[in-house]
Chains A and B, each alone.
Chain A
Amino acid sequence: QKEVEQDPGPLSVPEGAIVSLNCTYSNSAFQYFMWYRQYSRKGPELLMYTYSSGNKEDGRFTAQVDKSSKYISLFIRDSQPSDSATYLCAMSPAGSYQLTFGKGTKLSVIP
């Protein structure tokens, strides 16, 4: 079993939809959780970063962490065509700084 599982998609939604992206993990030592956005042929861009369980909101983006279920989510409200990209989850144990990534979910927002 991979440490981090992420559905690769592709996921296609109409403009304005709410998008839900998810990752599950098996390593209970993970404490720090990130979401990256990667456009085609570009480097990953840090979107959201959370520590331990709970929610964090930034504009149209909300990150949720449920450590009891080993499940993290990223919600995108009012999705835009510019949100079309691959979304990567990543996580790390405390004190490690070594990120373990999911394989990424490819999202297309259709105008």
Chain B
Amino acid sequence: DAGITQSPRHKVTETGTPVTLRCHQTENHRYMYWYRQDPGHGLRLIHYSYGVKDTDKGEVSDGYSVSRSKTEDFLLTLESATSSQTSVYFCAISDSSGDPYEQYFGPGTRLTVT
């Protein structure tokens, strides 16, 4: 999985609780992305980062925030989890010194909000 780890790998939480998912890379890639994958919708971009402290919204950003204080870590926070945020979350990275269109994905985090 291209030097990408995600934690936790599985999480069950209750509606209304805050949740933070972590993506860690060892590739020193500039770009990092958070996607969610749902049946019937495919992969959709939540937020992305083009450098430390530089982030922007994707297609489905409502209810999510992100932070990137170090090159290697990209955090996704659900401030108050809802059942509609039950999903599989994937982190991806790409490299500005190589080809930034080639994105490599982590193993995913399976989140269930009850």
A binding-site residues for B, Cβ under 8 Å: 6, 32, 34, 36, 41-46, 49, 88, 90, 92, 97-99, 101-104
Contact = CB atoms under 8 A, between A and B. Distances in A.
Contact of A45 (B42, B50, B99, B105): B105
A99 B50 CA distance: 14
B31 A88 contact: no
A49 B40 CA distance: 24
A43 B9 CA distance: 12
27 contacts: A6-B42, A32-B101, A34-B101, A34-B102, A34-B103, A36-B105, A41-B108, A43-B1, A43-B106, A44-B43, A44-B105, A46-B103, A46-B104, A49-B99, A88-B42, A90-B43, A97-B50, A97-B94, A97-B100, A97-B101, A98-B48, A98-B58, A99-B43, A99-B103, A101-B43, A102-B42, A104-B42
A44 B40 CA distance: 16
A32 B103 CA distance: 12
Contacts of B107: 42-43
Contacts of B100: 97
Contacts of B1: 43
